[in-house]
Amino acid sequence: MKLVLGTMERITSRSNERIKSFLKLSSSSKERREQNLYAIEGARLCFDALISGEEIKEFYYTLHAEEKFKKQVDSLREKASASFVITEDVASKMSSTPSPQGLFCVARHRQNSLAFESKLCYIALDGIQDPSNLGAMARTAEALGIGGLILYNCCDIFNQKSLRASMGAFFRLPVIMTDDLPLLLRNRAIEGVLTVAAVPDRDSEDFSSLDFSQGAITVIGNEGNGVSQPVIEACMKKASIPMKGRAESLNAAAAGAIVMWEMMK
């Protein structure tokens, strides 16, 4: 360890340029887009990024983290383009959690771009604004075996909350962003794919009655306003989850879970 430490740059100042740059990536989606990089923290997420094939450009760790997460630190240090030892004080500056684990990475996303395959089921998200909802739906999609996510007017997947809630699903799940979801849906419909807007209307079709076996795209809408009108109009069907209770609707992540479950059964 001493040998490695000897070759390792140490960062002791909270105002170090690299730390400032990390914080910008961590907090600004514009910065992430422009640099095509993102910032992550925590033993689990950093290691998950590494083993999912993400490109680790910078790796920051405290000596305490090295002791506690030896295996993860060794692997990350070996694969990262550059590694830095940081003090606890610097770690607390970098962290967006109350009790930082002392591991941070700057990474570049390996493109796992979505190529539509016939008979697979996909989820399109229309205007999801809560990063935790976005991450939770990615986690559910991966767990249930959804073919990929199509994002339209959503918040950034590389937001810290979103990445945390996704449990790393964004590193692996095929994802595309589109700026014309209605067009994409119409094109897929021509190919014989069922396109469905998930709506809370009690007079629409019941999700359980649909046949998803020839491939499908289901659109889940914004937390407050649901699927936008042009997207609903571009879909072949509207379907809902029948509700017995008083709550106007399920939250987006719960509705998403039920919809994905029905599609994949």
> Footprint of a second copy on this chain (CB under 8 A)?
132, 136, 139-146, 165, 167-169, 172, 208, 241, 243-251, 253-258, 261, 264-265
Give the C-alpha separation, 206 to 118, whole Å: 23
We find the least distance from the C-beta atom of residue 95 to a second copy, in angstroms, to be 19
Closest CA to 110 of 166, 157, 52: 52
Q: What is the C-alpha to C-alpha distance for residues 105 and 22, in angstroms, rounded to an integer?
A: 9
Task: Quote the least distance from Cβ 262 to a second copy, whole Å.
Answer: 8
Quote the DSSP letter at residue 80: S
114: number of Cβ within 10 Å? 18
Measured from the CB atom, is 8 or 143 closer to a second copy?
A: 143
Please report how close the Cβ of residue 56 comes to a second copy at its closest, in angstroms. 19
Residue placing its CB nearer to a second copy in the complex, 66 or 262: 262
Report DSSP state, residue 260: H
Give CA–CA dist 236/259, Å, rounded.
16
CB of 139 to a second copy, least distance (A): 5
CB of 55 to a second copy, least distance (A): 19
Q: In a 10 Å sphere around its CB, with 0-12 CB exposed, 13-18 middle and 19+ buried, how is residue 25 labelled? A: buried
With respect to a second copy, which residue has the nearer C-beta, 7 or 99? 99
In this complex, which beta carbon is closest to a second copy, that of residue 10 or of residue 261? 261
CB of 172 to a second copy, least distance (A): 6
Q: Which is nearer to a second copy, 168 or 182 (CB)?
A: 168
Closest of 176, 184, 177 to residue 230, by C-alpha? 184
Tokens read off for 214: 């020839």
Q: Cβ closer to a second copy: 141 or 216?
A: 141
User: Cα dihedral angle (65, 67, 68, 69), rounded to 10 degrees?
Assistant: 70
Q: How far apart are CA 217 and CA 173, in angstroms?
A: 15
